[in-house]
Amino acid sequence: MEHPIRIPDCYRWMAAGNKKLYIAYVVGYVKRSHPNLKVKQIKGRYAICVKKE
């Protein structure tokens, strides 16, 4: 089952157009805020996550 997690707007600003940095921020945010989930995909302003097995 997929869980959409809203990405805070400040991550886009902090990454300043650097795609790899943005992805790293999002993955780190999900690990810290939702330790039972992992990022499957980023769609717009949402991280689509699945439960860790």
Look at the pTM and tell me if it is higher than 0.85.
yes
Query: In the chain, how many domains are there?
Result: 1
Strand residues in the chain grouped as ranges (E): 2-6, 37-43, 46-51
23-41: pLDDT as tens digits: 999 999 999 999 999 999 9
Segments forming the whole domain that contains residue 34: 2-51
Whether the Cβ atoms of residue 23 and residue 42 lie closer than 8 Å to each other:
yes
Model pLDDT, residue 32: 97
